Amino acid sequence: MSLWCDEVNDHVSRFGLKIHKTLFHTRSPFQDILVVETDLLGRALMLDGMWMTAEGDEKSYHEMLVHPALCTAPHIARILVIGGGDGGTVREVLKYPEVQQVDLVEIDELVVQACQQHLPSIGTAWHDPRLTLTIADGIEWVKTTKPGTYDIILVDGSDPKGPAVGLFDHAFYEACARALTPHGIFVSQAESPVLMQDVHIDMVQALQKAFGHAYPYYGTVMIYPGGLWSWIYAARTTQPTDLKAERVARITETTEIWNKAIHHGAFAVPNRLQQALQRS
């Protein structure tokens, strides 16, 4: 008999994967953690019943989160990653030799342990000496960070539920703006523009207020609600078009999804969302 594991989205849609083995299941102080072996996408992680990442699909997400900022920022020496306990985001960041220090701040130690043990193909940079892992609340971390500390902040959090709720708050965005250098870049995953359009629009508006400029961009991530996913690139001065040719050429030798053409196309906002942004 086949066994299916589904993510149900507000009782209006669901996405399921056929699984043949449960590798890990526990309840942390923050959330339910499940790692399964799927027929289609290999090993996959769920948190509180929501798909977070899968071996066969993760680069569609991690490459799109990381490389737009890392290939446009004037300086990329110091990077902060909030969330990202699977290790995929820091793996992509640490491909750049210019990066000197990466602070990974993850609230749930059990997520890190589960991913290190059961999803080692995603987190391949845990032992890089430039990486410092801290188990802490990323929101509090940013509040106490000295102004101008980071060149880039990447938020690799889950949906606005449970421990991730504060990652969608305007006060958090203001704190991130202070923690960045004047030419720094903030990027966050920004939910499904199909099933969570209101959240997506609210994030764009809040980041525009905090930084002055916010640029939503889009890509396909099969395991996420609706299949079409979004991120937001926010900055005071730097723009998504400020690509550094040498970095782009070098990094596209390592990527499966992201390249210069994908980058430019991703920032094309669909008419429906343009109209929603104009109305709001």
Three-class secondary structure assignment of 176-217: HHHHEEEEEEEEEECCCCCCCHHHHHHHHHHHHHHHCEEEEE
10 in active site: no
CA-CA distance, 63 to 85, in Å (whole number)?
16
Supply 273's token pair. Answer: 């969302």
Supply 221's token pair. Answer: 């991530």
Supply 76's token pair. Answer: 């990329």
CB 47 within 8 A of CB 164: no
Secondary element (H or E) of residue 279: helix 271-279
List the catalytic residue out of 48, 86, 151, 156: 156
Question: Does residue 166 sit in helix, strand or coil?
Answer: helix
Q: How many CB atoms lie within 10 A of CB 157?
A: 21
CA-CA distance, 4 to 118, in Å (whole number)?
20
CB 80 within 8 A of CB 154: yes
CA-CA distance, 277 to 200, in Å (whole number)?
10
CA-CA distance, 108 to 77, in Å (whole number)?
26
Catalytic residue positions, numbered: 156
